[in-house]
Amino acid sequence: MARLSRLDVVGWPHLLVQHVRAGERLVRDESDRQALWLAMLDAARQTQMAVHAYAVLDDHFHVLVSPQQAGTLGAFMQAIGRRYVARYNHRYGRVGTLWDGRFRGTVVSPERFLLESMLFVEQHPELVTPEPVAAANVGHVGGFGYSSLPHHLMYRSDPLIQDHAAFWALGNTPFEREGAWRQLLATGLTTLERNRLADAMLKGWALVDPAQRMQLEQVTGRRMAPRPRGRPRKNEAISTEVVLEREDVTPI
């Protein structure tokens, strides 16, 4: 079966993940985390990529981004890899790629799934500490891991982040947006919501409504959802949302 082309749609949010090879670590200390952040910042500026959220974990990282120019999504991720992996290899005396294959991702409806995708990134189970962290400590990356969460909680300003209009719509002032975001964080995502995002991200199917699906398929010339199983019924409307497989999907 031919591999689907990557989704790369100008102006649409994309939820991405990049894993490292088995047995490797993405970052080993604070210096590595800072180097990866600088690689992201440099890549975003090179490709004019709008970064809405990110999270750096031990063996992978997530970014939620919106390309501003055609064909820049892959260039953005490649630029991160060129800068960071070269530095990483030199520091630790290794050769070859650090990545476990190509990055994966999905395009999401900004109206329905932008905020869910932000929560998916910033509320990663391995990232957020279970107990409240004092404000004095949150400015350090150890408070919430290395992510965009401190930026959205107004503990620090992160030059990498360009907030999406859906996030700005949470309030008229920074304090209103922060308060609204805290409430959404407190509610969190359900297991079904996390699995739906993880499934779409890994398989490359769009999380959009029917009208948006038709629009994206016309623009990209690519299917946005899997074909229905079995013989379709006559006049049966086909849902465009990603449908989870029967087995559970482990969120990543």
pLDDT for position 217: 72
From the list 103, 109, 124, the residue with the least C-alpha distance to 53 is: 124
pLDDT for position 247: 37
Residue 243 lies in a domain: no
Half-sphere exposure of 140 (CA within 13 A, CB side): 7
pLDDT of 180 above 70: yes
pLDDT for position 250: 43
Share of residues in the chain with pLDDT > 90 (%): 64
pLDDT for position 7: 75
Residue 70 lies in a domain: yes
Residue 119 belongs to domain with CATH number: 3.30.70.1290
Residue 126 lies in a domain: yes
pLDDT digits (tens, 9 = 90+) for 117-135: 999 999 875 554 433 333 3
Domain count of the fold of the chain: 1
Mean pLDDT of the chain: 82
Residue 173 lies in a domain: yes
Residue 116 lies in a domain: yes
CA distance 162 to 159: 8
Residue 94 lies in a domain: yes
Mean pLDDT throughout 152-156? 92
Confidence of residue 198 (pLDDT cuts 50, 70, 90): very high
Mean pLDDT throughout 75-96? 97
pLDDT digits (tens, 9 = 90+) for 28-73: 999 999 999 999 999 999 999 999 999 999 899 999 999 999 889 9
Residue 239 lies in a domain: no
Query: pTM higher than 0.75 for the full model?
Result: yes
Residue 242 lies in a domain: no
- Domain membership of residue 28 as a residue range: 14-219
Mean pLDDT throughout 6-23? 91
Chain-centroid distance of CA 22 in Å reads 21
pLDDT of 4 above 70: no
pLDDT of 245 above 60: no
